[in-house]
Amino acid sequence: MTFQPVIPTGGLVGWRFLQRTYDAQLQSYSASAINERETKYFLEHIGKVRSAEDLVSDRRLLQVALGAFGLEGDLDNRFFIQKVLSDGTRADDALANRLADGRYRDFANAFGLGPGDVRKTASAKAMEQIASDNLVARFEISVGEADESMRIALFAQHALQEIATQGGSENRKWFDLMGLPPLRNMMETALGLPAAFAQLDIDKQLEVFKDRLLRATGSSDLAQFTESEAVDKLTDTYFARNQVKQIQSVTSPAQTALILLGGGG
């Protein structure tokens, strides 16, 4: 039986409910027979993986490994994933470093199968974290099947703080955020940016993102999201603006105005 997350309604009300019941729902999802079986298999066999080829050759291991980073869509792209892993991240021209999506860099780092890397597949603690992250990511997918905005918000709760606390320049953090589709979607919506925004030159996008965040929060620095309060405020804004977008997609401008003013009943 497919797990069905409990989300009684959309928007902020539904989000508040999901926040309150998150731990119990995640535990219920993780305890399902298929998830327990896949987690057990991963932890029993990942320690034997010594190369990128070893990992991509075992579909069950690879599914958990990719799932932990939200990259499950690449399960059948074995040659590509093997290249990401075997290149590692030490060289500037390594494939993961040349991809806009920062999840590939994190994925390669997590297993340490590239040149000069310390292999991490033998670390029980590190692999237990991968298995745990996979369950969280798959739970988010399940939530997204019911309400995509909820999945985006759940992803942002951890991914935004991870970017905020990582090393490197402020611009690098922004580019990493822009390379993560869920975070980019959330930020664009929360800051009121149009769909055509993504067509601008990448440096112009960076400039606009910073300007809009500065106007919205008083700072253009992503470090502000190391604080959960700042993440919560952005999430609330995201849901509020997303609700307006949904209303506008099915109503005329005049009807939208009436609804927002409380006169559309």
Top-confidence range, 90-104, 121-135, 245-259: 121-135
Worst-scoring range by mean pLDDT, 51-55, 61-65, 97-101? Answer: 97-101
Identify the pLDDT of residue 251. 56
Identify the pLDDT of residue 29. 94
Mean pLDDT of all residues in 42-52: 97
Alpha carbon distance 231, 116 (integer Å): 36
Identify the pLDDT of residue 198. 85
Domain edges within the chain:
11-139, 170-260
48 — pLDDT class (breaks 50, 70, 90): very high
Identify the pLDDT of residue 262. 55
Helix axis angle, 124-146 to 33-45, nearest 10°: 150
Give the predicted TM-score (pTM) of the model: 0.82
Q: For residue 116, is it left (φ>0), alpha (ψ between -120 and 50) or beta?
A: left
Q: What is the pLDDT of residues 226-265, one digit of tens each?
A: 999 999 999 999 999 998 877 766 655 666 555 445 544 4
Mean pLDDT of all residues in 12-37: 95
Q: What is the pLDDT of residues 185-200, one digit of tens each?
A: 999 999 999 878 888 9
Of residues 257 and 7, which shows the higher confidence score?
A: 7
Average confidence score pLDDT of the chain: 91
Answer yes or no: are the C-beta atoms of 50 and 31 closer than 8 Å: no
In this predicted structure, the answer to whether residue 103 has a pLDDT above a threshold of 60 is yes
Alpha carbon distance 215, 65 (integer Å): 39
Secondary structure class of 254 (helix, strand, coil):
helix
φ, ψ (nearest 5 deg) of residue 116: 80, 0
Identify the pLDDT of residue 248. 66
4 — pLDDT class (breaks 50, 70, 90): confident
CATH class of 11-139: mainly alpha
Q: What is the pLDDT of residues 252-263, one digit of tens each?
A: 566 655 544 554
Identify the pLDDT of residue 263. 47
Identify the pLDDT of residue 72. 93
Identify the pLDDT of residue 101. 86
Q: What is the pLDDT of residues 156-167, one digit of tens each?
A: 999 999 999 988
CA angle 64, 65, 68 (to 5 degrees): 80
Q: DSSP string of 167-205?
A: SS-HHHHHHHHHTSHHHHHHHHHHTT--GGGGGS-HHHH
